Structure 1
C-alpha cells in the first residue's frame, strides 16, 4: 500500500485506541489532513481497499466516511470517488498548493432566510395531514396532474407568455425532458446542432441516442446566426439545442435581436429548437424566451433546479401543440415514468402558497 502511506498510520491508531473503530478512523483521517499527508482534492482509495488493509469490515469504513463527511472533511460523488474537501481541517490555510474547484455542477444556495429546512418540515407535515398517503406514495400521472400543469404554466408565463394547459408537461428534471424531446425529433445518426462550447448534458443525451453533435461558433451574445446558417446548410441537422439566457457554461445571453436572427435561420432550414432555460427567472427582467417568439418551432424546458432546488426533481415543459405534448409525454414515460408524488406535492404547495416566489427571491 505504498501508494497510500497514511493507511499504516490509520491502522496503528485503530490498534491503540479504545474508541469505536469508525470514530478512530475518522479522527485519523482528520489528523492526516492536518499533518499534510492528505491535501485538498486528494482522492481516497476505495472503501473496500481501506477495509481490507485495516482488517475491518466495509460497513465500519462506510460509517467512518459518513462521520468524516459530517465534519466537512470529505466529499463523495457516485462514479467519481471520495475526495478531501477544499477547506477541510483546522490548518487548511497552511496549504500553498493549487486548490481544486469542481465546475462540473452548479447549485443554487440554500436560503437561510426564509429558513428552508423549517419550511420543508412544516409543509411536508401539512401535506401528510391533508393528502392521502397511498396517493402520494404511488405512481403518478406522467406529465403531471391538471393542477400541476396549470401551476407550471403560471410559473413560466413571465418568460414564455400564456400557454394552454394541454401544451404543458411536468417532468422529473430537465435532463429527462430534454432526452424525451431529442428522442421525439431524431433517429440514430441524425445531427443535432448546438454551441461549440456546450452544456455537458446534451453530450450525454447525444451519446445515448447515437446522435452527432455539431458545434456552432459564438460571440459575446452566444451562438452566431451566420455560423448557424453555414452549419445547417452543410450538415442538415434535425434539431437545434440552445440555452439563450445565461448559457451554460459561458454565461452568454442573447439579445432580443439575436434571438430573432437565430429563429429566422431555424425557420429557413425547417429546424426545430429545444430551448433549455434554467436561469431566466433569476433575472429581474428576463428577455423573452425563443418559445415566446416562435410558438410553433420551440420545445421549452425550465427546470426548478436552479431557481428553487435540484432536490425537487421538477421541470416544466412547454410544447408547440397538443400532439407534440402527447409524443413527448410518451417519451418521458419511457425514460423516467413519472414524477415522485411527495416532491410533486411539495412543489405544488410552494406554488400555491407563494412560497416558491419567496425562495426564488432569496436565491
Structure 2
C-alpha cells in the first residue's frame, strides 16, 4: 500500500518537509480520513525513490503535530481531526491515584481556601450592588481598573486606569487582542516551541503562524529579524517570562532587542505575561519598552489560585476601541464578581502574599527536580511552574507519556507546543503544581528517572 496522490516530481527540497506537507494537506482536506492506515516507511520510500530515513523524518513531523499515531503491532494511522486541538492535559481531574504533572497550575494549601472564603463572606455583606448585579462598563469598573494599574506597576508596567481593560484571564485577553489587530490570512510570529493555545487560536482565527527559532531565553533577535524580512508579519506573540514550555526568562537586553526589531518592521506585539507575577523583580515587560505597539496581558491564575480567572490587558490608545469591541463580541465584559475578588486581593495584600508563598514553594520544588532529574538534562527556572525534559535518543515522547501513565503519572508531550515549522521533538513538559504533596511529587520524579535510565527498546514487551 502507498499514497496514490504522491509524485516524486512534485516534491521539493528538503524532501522530508515537502513530503510531510503533502500528506498533511490530504489529511486536513479530508481525503485521508481519520483511522486510515498509513503506508510503511519502506513502501513509500520504494514508491518515490527516496530514502527510508527521509520518510521517517516526514512521519516524525506528522506525528509530532498529532496528525498520525503509531500503535505497536498494528501500524500507523491518521488521527481523528476532531481531536486536533485537544490540550496536552486532561480537562477533567485525573484519578485520585494519578500524580498530575501535565497541567501547569499553581500549588495551593488551606491558606488559599481560607482567603477565598473570607473574601466571599466580606463581599456577601459589603459589596456594592453594582458589582453583584451589573455588566457595565465593558472595560471594567473603575475601582477594579485602578487596582489593576496598581498591580501592573509592581510588574514594571506603569499605566493609567483608563488604559486598563479587565479580562477573564490571559487566554480571554489574547483571543480579543489577536482578533482586534489581525485579519484572516495575516502572518503571526511566535516562538517555535510556544504555548499550545497560541497555536489553536491562530488556527481558529485563520492566521498563518510562523515559528521563530530561540534558545533558553526564548526568541532570538536575529531569527526574528529574518522572519520579518521573509514573511511580512503583522503581529508578534511573545511569552518572555516562564510561560514557554522551557520556562525560561528573557533578559532585559534581549527584550530591548525584540522591541527595536518590532519597531523596525512596524510589528505589533501581544505580550503574554501570565507567569510574570511569579518572578520576583523580573525584567520590565517588552510592552514597557514599546508602549506604542505592545498589548500586555497578565492574570492571577498562575500566582494565586487557578480559579481566579481575572486578568488585565493594556494596549496603546489607538487600539483601545478595537480591543473593547472584540471583548464585547467574545464575552461582553470580564466577570465583575471575579474582578472584585482580584481587586480586593490587590488592595489588601492577599495577592502579593499568595504570590510570595508560591515563589517559596516553587523554590522547594526546584530543589527536588534538580536532585532527581538534574542528571537527565532537564530545562527550567527555579521559579517555574513547569520544566522541559528532552528525552534521550530513541525515545518517542508519546510512548514515554503512555509508560508514565501506566505508572500513574500524567505528563504533557511536546507535540501540542510545536508550531508548524518547528522540528520534531521528543520531549515532555513536567509541571510541578498539580501534585500538592511533596513526597508524592518526588516519588513520581524518581519513577520517571528510572524510566529514563532504561533502554527505549524496552518500552513495550514483545508478545509472540
2:119 to 119, 123, 131: 123
Aligned-residue offset at 1:326: 2.3
Please tell me whether residue 343 in structure 1 is matched to residue 341 in structure 2. no
Specify the alignment match of 1:261 in structure 2.
Answer: 257
Structure 1, residues 49-87: CA drift from partner, whole Å, max 9, x if none?
xxxxxxxxxxxxxxxxxxxxxxxxxx9735xxx854444
Aligned-residue offset at 1:223: 0.5
CA distance, structure 2, for counterparts of residue 299 and residue 196 of structure 1 = 20
What secondary structure does 1:311 align onto? coil
Is the contact between residue 273 and residue 298 of structure 2 (CA under 8 Å) also seen in structure 1?
yes
Where does the alignment leave 5 or more consecutive residues of structure 2 unmatched? 1-88, 359-464
Aligned-residue offset at 1:138: 4.0
2:193 to 197, 204, 218: 197
Please tell me whether residue 274 in structure 1 is matched to residue 270 in structure 2. yes
Alignment CA distance shift 1:240-1:102 (3 Å)? same
How large is the Cα RMSD of the aligned pairs?
A: 2.0
Please tell me whether residue 328 in structure 1 is matched to residue 323 in structure 2. yes
> Which one has the largest radius of gyration?
1
Aligned-residue offset at 1:134: 6.8
Specify the alignment match of 1:360 in structure 2.
Answer: 355
What secondary structure does 1:275 align onto? strand
What secondary structure does 1:143 align onto? coil
Is the contact between residue 185 and residue 208 of structure 2 (CA under 8 Å) also seen in structure 1?
yes
1:184 to 150, 174, 180: 180
Aligned-residue offset at 1:102: 4.7
Aligned-residue offset at 1:132: 4.5
CA distance, structure 1, for counterparts of residue 195 and residue 314 of structure 2 = 20
Please tell me whether residue 149 in structure 1 is matched to residue 142 in structure 2. no
CA distance, structure 1, for counterparts of residue 128 and residue 160 of structure 2 = 29
CA distance, structure 2, for counterparts of residue 216 and residue 178 of structure 1 = 19
CA distance, structure 1, for counterparts of residue 131 and residue 352 of structure 2 = 27
Alignment CA distance shift 1:76-1:247 (3 Å)? closer
Structure 1, residues 221-241: CA drift from partner, whole Å, max 9, x if none?
210111111111111010000
Alignment CA distance shift 1:344-1:217 (3 Å)? same
CA distance, structure 2, for counterparts of residue 102 and residue 172 of structure 1 = 25
What TM-score results when the alignment is normalised by the length of structure 2?
0.55
Aligned-residue offset at 1:133: 4.8
Aligned-residue offset at 1:122: 2.0
Structure 1, residues 73-111: CA drift from partner, whole Å, max 9, x if none?
xx9735xxx854444xxxxxxxxxxxx7552x3110114
Is the contact between residue 152 and residue 316 of structure 1 (CA under 8 Å) also seen in structure 2?
yes
What secondary structure does 1:300 align onto? strand
Please tell me whether residue 160 in structure 1 is matched to residue 156 in structure 2. yes
User: Which aligned pairs between 1:1-363 and structure 2 lie closer than 5 A?
Assistant: 77=91, 84-87=95-98, 102-103=101-102, 105-112=103-110, 115-133=111-129, 135-321=131-317, 323-363=318-358
What secondary structure does 1:192 align onto? strand
Is the contact between residue 111 and residue 362 of structure 1 (CA under 8 Å) also seen in structure 2?
no
What secondary structure does 2:188 align onto? strand
CA distance, structure 2, for counterparts of residue 240 and residue 218 of structure 1 = 14
Is the contact between residue 166 and residue 325 of structure 1 (CA under 8 Å) also seen in structure 2?
no
What TM-score results when the alignment is normalised by the length of structure 1?
0.70
Is the contact between residue 286 and residue 294 of structure 2 (CA under 8 Å) also seen in structure 1?
yes
CA distance, structure 2, for counterparts of residue 144 and residue 266 of structure 1 = 30
Give the total of aligned pairs: 270
CA distance, structure 1, for counterparts of residue 299 and residue 116 of structure 2 = 19
Alignment CA distance shift 1:353-1:86 (3 Å)? same
Is the contact between residue 243 and residue 274 of structure 2 (CA under 8 Å) also seen in structure 1?
no
Is the contact between residue 112 and residue 305 of structure 2 (CA under 8 Å) also seen in structure 1?
no
Alignment CA distance shift 1:350-1:205 (3 Å)? same
What secondary structure does 2:237 align onto? strand
What secondary structure does 1:160 align onto? coil
CA distance, structure 2, for counterparts of residue 258 and residue 301 of structure 1 = 19
Aligned-residue offset at 1:359: 1.5
